[in-house]
Amino acid sequence: MPKEDYLLKYLEKLSRVIAAMLGLRDKGFPEDAIRLAEETYKELFVLDLESIAVLPVSEFIKIIEKESFSPAYIEALAKITHETAHSFNTKGDKQKMRIFSEKALLLYRLLNEKDKTFSFEREVLISGLEKIIDENNSVNKL
């Protein structure tokens, strides 16, 4: 039972981190939102954002799968990763925005595999991420 309490408290903490990141970005402080994401990633994986950015997507997913996170954890991590991409976009760093969008997309797809409940909201997020990545790849080819 104590392990379940810890997991629930940590999920609540991740939810607060996501809300704080969104608030910071909306108020025009994307650097602070990115810093909050950095702290969260270091706590979860002992990896900073730069390490995650250069980590191949396949290796990133292996780390997530190795941790055997529950669907709720994967969803929170996908939201943090997605918000990190938004923060980099607000900051004007299109390359890191694309990288973290790709990682968020894979997390949402992994979540679809683990969570058998259909989520229309998740499908909309996946479509939006695919569009962002496709548009960004098209611009990079020019």
Total domains in the chain come to: 1
Separation between Cα atoms, residue 4 and residue 6, nearest integer Å = 5
Q: What is the pLDDT of residue 108?
A: 96
Determine the average pLDDT of the residues in 111-125: 92
Q: Which domain holds residue 120?
A: 2-141
- 35-59 pLDDT, tens digit per residue, is 999 999 999 888 899 999 999 988 9
